[in-house]
Amino acid sequence: MEFRDNEAIYLQIAAYVSENILLGKWPAEQKIPSVRDLAIELEVNPNTVMRTYEFLQNQEVIYNKRGLGLFVAPDGFDKVKAYRKERFIQQDLPEYFRNIYLLDIDLEDIQQRYERFKAENYDNKTK
């Protein structure tokens, strides 16, 4: 995983976990990788993954089954989607709109490119 300098690593890992939930790779009630396993996979300090998991538990996206590990919450998908949607609308969309305006990009062109992007990256793949 390539980390960006402009955002805390634990939040970038939270985005990675969230994306796995949204893509259906980690469905509701499924056990997620342990702190140690995810730290090894992402080549980060286990304390960073622990911070990520604490953050996601506070968001009620994952929960701990004592002695068994961490699991995706029954409504984890909906919580992740709502959180990410709000964050996108508040943080990313204004900059996106600004660039569309400044560069005079046609919304129809954006729609075509978006449809092509979906077809090339997500259509006919498991959700």
The Cα 31–Cα 71 span in angstroms is: 4
Please write the tens of the pLDDT for every residue from 23-52.
999 999 999 999 999 999 999 999 999 999
The Cα 92–Cα 96 span in angstroms is: 6
Which residue is it, tokens 């994952």? 62
Q: Where are the domains of the chain?
A: 1-127
Which of the listed CATH numbers 1.10.10.10, 3.40.640.10, 1.20.5.50, 1.20.1510.10 matches domain 1-127?
1.10.10.10
Please write the tens of the pLDDT for every residue from 79-116.
999 999 999 999 999 999 999 999 999 999 999 999 99
Residue 127 has a pLDDT of 44
Q: Measuring CA to CA, which residue among 85, 87, 60, 55 is closest to residue 72?
A: 60
Q: Which residues pair with 65 in a beta bridge?
A: 69
Put simply, whether the predicted model's pTM sits higher than 0.95 gets the answer no
